[in-house]
Amino acid sequence: MNYKFITEFSNALHTKKISSVELTRYFLDRIKKFDKQLNSFITVCEDEALKEAKKADELLAKGQAHALTGIPIAHKDIFCTQGIKTSCGSKMLDNFISPYDATVVKKFKEAGTVLLGKTNMDEFAMGSSNENSFYGPVKNPWDLSVVPGGSSGGSAAAVAAHLAPAATGTDTGGSIRQPAGLCGITGIKPTYGRVSRYGMIAFASSLDQGGPFARSAADVALLLNAMSGFDEHDSTSVNKVVPDYSSTLDQPLNGLRIGLPKEYFGKGLDPEISKLIHEAVEEFKKLGATIHEINLPNTELSIPAYYVVAPAECSSNLARFDGVRYGYRCDNPKDLEDLYKRSRSEGFGSEVKRRIMIGTYALSAGYYDAYYLKAQKIRCLIRNDFVEAFKKVDIILGPTSPTTAFKIGEKVDDPVSMYLSDIYTIAVNLAGLPGISIPAGFVNKLPVGMQLIANYFEEGRLLNVAHRFQTVTDWHTKIPEGF
């Protein structure tokens, strides 16, 4: 099966070189063979997948297929899937079988995709390393001793190891782009409101956004076509026409203005990563782009602002998990208060408890103005930095993460150090902008991600710029040795 990309798989399916059943069995076999090493899946849906593949083959035979018909994919285990466990990587939801499909899941079903299974993740999407899962840490296929990034590390590792040609993820502060960068694949976080959050279990409602992982920008364009669009079930969904992202991939970059924020290339960035990013900039110059230094002066405030806003919203969203309605319930509670306390203390992991406590404190009487309100004001300053920058440039470019993937366990007892790994991604969520991470090389045999940021609803331009870079480089074609 010498195919790497969804575009190749789609062509092979439509020309009858392979069937969806054959393709699905191929990936199910790879999951059986390799996932014991990676722990990237929580649930594998073998029987359901083969049934869906058979239906896809019938559509292909009738000539009623779409571009993604018959393509196997995986969903991050934060998206509700009817009749299949949706755990959010937590003991709290280990027994939860969703009674409905998330809108993203429904849209992919309508496109004819085949669900391979649900991928591992940091509990309730809280983490930067995928070490916070009730089901154990996910390992990076490039080096099994290092993290894949989080919180969508299971999806990123599965795509990087070729256990699935594509997967969904969610991005609250970098949780698509950071694992995409650390695993050497392509991942996009769309503009807030572009992809429905209905059925995507909430962490921080004003920051969460779903998006796809794949090997190339061209593949991601196909996936984003399928999952984008207005949803009346989601009050934050934007009623705006979705363009065909695949149709503009090959547009030339002549005259494109690329901004390099000086704040992204200072202290804390690995010099070898900086060198690779500047080599990528030279490729863009050859493609016709012009380079401009810009300032995003409030960048350093993004992490403290985020770690007030996100925990506050998490505290509110996770209040529903009380041991009464659904999810984990403690044994033999003495009374209602004991039920609440023990169900939550036993059902949630340490990182989730930490963020709930911080968020509850920030929202409490006497502290709301000092913390939450001030963080929201800083959020406006960060957004304004980007508004001013996009008056001068079309795309902002920088590293996705300040280092390559770190060792499993290295930062687990140092939350602040862990939080700093998202220094370049968090501001994008606070501003609600779209961002993409694409492979830009290797340092010590570990992948390096390059982040591109665009103005609101300009995902098409992001994908165009990423695709043009991938036509003159081959970093996105690499597969980890042994996989």
pLDDT greater than 80 at residue 2: no
Model confidence pLDDT, tens digit, residues 217-241: 999 999 999 999 999 999 999 999 9
Model confidence pLDDT, tens digit, residues 299-331: 999 999 999 999 999 999 999 999 999 999 999
Instruction: For CA atoms 282, 159, 26, 102, give the dihedral sign.
Output: negative
Res 202: pLDDT? 96
User: What gap in Å lies between CA 185 and CA 159, rounded to an integer?
Assistant: 8
Catalytic residue IDs: 76, 151, 175
Res 145: pLDDT? 98
Identify the DSSP state of 19. -
pLDDT band for position 31 (50/70/90)? Answer: very high
pLDDT band for position 419 (50/70/90)? Answer: confident
What is the rounded average pLDDT for all residues in the chain? Answer: 97
User: What gap in Å lies between CA 462 and CA 460, rounded to an integer?
Assistant: 5
Q: Mean pLDDT, to the nearest integer, of 46-58?
A: 98
Rounded to the nearest angstrom, the gap between the alpha carbon of residue 362 and the centroid of all alpha carbons in its chain is: 27
Maximum CA extent, the chain: 70
Specify the DSSP element, H or E, that contains 3: none
Model confidence pLDDT, tens digit, residues 336-389: 999 999 999 999 999 999 999 999 999 998 899 999 999 999 999 999 999 999
Res 417: pLDDT? 83
User: What gap in Å lies between CA 267 and CA 402, rounded to an integer?
Assistant: 9
Q: Mean pLDDT, to the nearest integer, of 399-421?
A: 91
Specify whether the backbone of 140 is left (phi greater than 0), alpha (psi in -120 to 50) or beta.
beta
Q: Mean pLDDT, to the nearest integer, of 60-73?
A: 96
Res 199: pLDDT? 98
Q: Mean pLDDT, to the nearest integer, of 268-272?
A: 95
User: What gap in Å lies between CA 60 and CA 13, rounded to an integer?
Assistant: 8
Res 326: pLDDT? 93
Res 418: pLDDT? 86
* End-to-end Cα spacing for the chain: 13
Residues in CB range of 205: below 8 A, 6 or more apart? 197, 236, 313, 317
Nearest to 453 by CA among 470, 429, 476, 475: 429
Res 344: pLDDT? 97
Res 4: pLDDT? 87
Ordered structural domains, the chain, with CATH? 6-256+392-477 (3.90.1300.10), 300-378 (no CATH)
